[in-house]
Structure 1
Amino acid sequence: MIRFLALALALVLCGVAALSGCQIVFEDENAPAEIPAGPDGDDARNTARLEESFEAELLPLVAQRALDLEGLRTALSAGLDSAGEAHANRGAGQGAAWNFALRDEGRVVANRLDSSARTADVDVDGDGESDLRLQLGPVIRGTALRDAAPFYNFDDFRDQIEFAKLARAINDRIKPALVAVEDVPVGATVRFTGVVPLKAADGDLVVTPIDFEVVE
C-alpha cells in the first residue's frame, strides 16, 4: 500500500514537471553497498576476492600441486627456474621467489613455541637433521600463499598496498587452524601441506602450511 501511494505521488509530480521529463527510481534495500574505489575499499575488495577464491581455488591448487620433499629436491636438481616453471608460481616483481607447494611428514627436531611466531623444525628424510621449518603462527610472515596462485594478478589490484593486504588477509585465514594445534613437542611426527618460497635452489625451506597436524 505504501509503495502504491509513493508511485501515485511520483506520477502526480511527473505530470506537473512533464516538460522537463521525469524518471522514477526505487532503491533496492537489499542491494550491496558500493565499495569505495580508493584505499578505503582495499579490505572490502580483498574480502570479496577471498570469498570467491580461498576455498574454491587456492586450497585445492596447493593440494593438487604439492610435491613431497624428495620430489622437490629432484625437481630443483635441474635448476630453480626449470623446477619453478614446471611446479610453481612466481611472485610479482623482479627477482621474486618461486612458490612451491609441498606435502610431507616428518619428526620435529626443534621447536620454538614461546613466541608469537611459533615454528617447528622438521626432519623429513630421517637423518636426524632439520630439512625445513614450519610456520605455526599466530604471526605468519611472508606472501607465499598469495604468490603460489596465478589468479592473484598484481595488475588487478589498486596498487602494491592493496596487494600486500591480500597476503595478510590470506595468512589470517590460515591462522586459526595452526594455532589450534597448541603443542608440537620435539620428537612428535607431524604431517603438513603448505607453500615454500625459494629464490635459490639451495635456499632454506620455510613452509607456510594450509594444513597441519600432529599425528603421533
Structure 2
Amino acid sequence: MRRLKWVSIVAVGLLISLSGCKIVKNPDPDSAGQADANLTDEARMAALARDIWDTDVLPTVAEHLVPIDDLRVSLAQNEQAAGQSHGLRPEGEANPWNFAVSGSGSIVEANTTSRAAKLQVDTTGDGAADVTVQLGPVIRGTAIRDAMPFLIFTDFRDQIEFAKLAGGLNAMAHERLSLPEGDIIGRTVSFEGVFTYRDLASAPEVVPTALSFEAPE
C-alpha cells in the first residue's frame, strides 16, 4: 500500500512539472525556411538573381533598349537629357546613369581564355574598338543590378548582401552566353546589354544579356 502511494505521488509530480513546460520540436533541416537560413549570402543572392532573370531583368532591358549609335548622339548633345530619356539608375542624382543598349560591329580583339574575358568591338566602322563586351565569368561593375528599378538597396539587409546580388546577376549574364568555336576576330557580333556611363571619352563596357555572331564568310 505504501509503495502504491509513493508511485502515485511521483506520477502527480511529473504531470505538474510537464504542465509548465512547452515542448519545442527541433527544426526540420529539410524545411524550406531552414534551408534558406543555412545558405550563405552569396548562395541566396545567386538564387534570387536566377529567379528574377527571365521574368524581370530581361523584360526591363528589352523595355529600355536604345541603339548605341542613337545614344551616342543624345549623350553628345546633352548628357543629362539623354540620361533622363534613356537612363536607369538608383535613387539619388549622385549615382551614374546606366543604359540598356543594342548594337553590332566587328570584333577587333578577343580575349576568351581569361576569367575576365572580353571582346573589343568596332561599332562605327573605323577599325578601332569603341565598345567592350564583358564575357566573364569575372565581370566588372554593378550595371545590371543598378539598372533594375525594382531592386532597391533598402530592401536588402546591408551593402554586402546587395553586392552579392550584383555578382549573382553578372554570373547569370555569363551563364547565358555561348561563344562560337574557332577564331572570332573579324566576325560581326550583335549584342544587347547594360553599361554604366562614365563620360563621353570612355568606351562603354557592356554586360551582355544577349549575344549572337554572324557566320564566317
TM-score (norm 1): 0.77
Structure 1: unaligned runs, 5 residues or longer: 1-15
Deviation at 1:66, TM superposition (A): 1.1
Equivalence for 1:154: 153
Equivalence for 1:168: 167
Equivalence for 2:96: 97
The whole-number CA distance in structure 1 between the counterparts of 2:168 and 2:104 is: 27
Question: What is the CA deviation profile of residues 64-93 of structure 1, one whole-angstrom value per residue up to 9, with x for unaligned ones?
Answer: 211112111122123322211211211467
Equivalence for 2:128: 129
Equivalence for 2:109: 110
Equivalence for 2:63: 64
SS at match of 1:119: strand
The whole-number CA distance in structure 2 between the counterparts of 1:185 and 1:95 is: 39
Question: What is the CA deviation profile of residues 16-70 of structure 1, one whole-angstrom value per residue up to 9, with x for unaligned ones?
Answer: 88x98x99x9x99995224449xx6634542453354211110111122111121
Equivalence for 2:32: 32
The whole-number CA distance in structure 2 between the counterparts of 1:135 and 1:51 is: 19
Equivalence for 1:209: 208
The whole-number CA distance in structure 1 between the counterparts of 2:113 and 2:46 is: 31
In structure 2, the CA distance between the partners of 1:182 and 1:91, relative to structure 1 (3 Å rule), is farther
TM-score (norm 2): 0.77
SS at match of 1:207: strand
Which stretch shifts more, 110-119 or 135-144? 110-119
In structure 2, the CA distance between the partners of 1:118 and 1:92, relative to structure 1 (3 Å rule), is farther
What root-mean-square deviation, in Å, do the aligned CA atoms of Structure 1 and Structure 2 show? 3.0
SS at match of 1:89: coil
The whole-number CA distance in structure 2 between the counterparts of 1:183 and 1:206 is: 24
Equivalence for 2:10: none
- Give the alignment of 1:3-42 within 5 angstroms: 32-34=32-34, 35-36=36-37, 42=41
Equivalence for 2:11: none
Count of residues in correspondence between the two structures: 199
Letter in 2 for 1:33: G
Contact (CA 8 Å) 1:184, 1:214: kept in 2 or not? no
Question: What is the CA deviation profile of residues 1-30 of structure 1, one whole-angstrom value per residue up to 9, with x for unaligned ones?
Answer: xxxxxxxxxxxxxxx88x98x99x9x9999
Equivalence for 1:13: none
Higher-Rg structure is 2
Equivalence for 2:6: none
SS at match of 1:90: coil
Deviation at 1:135, TM superposition (A): 0.7
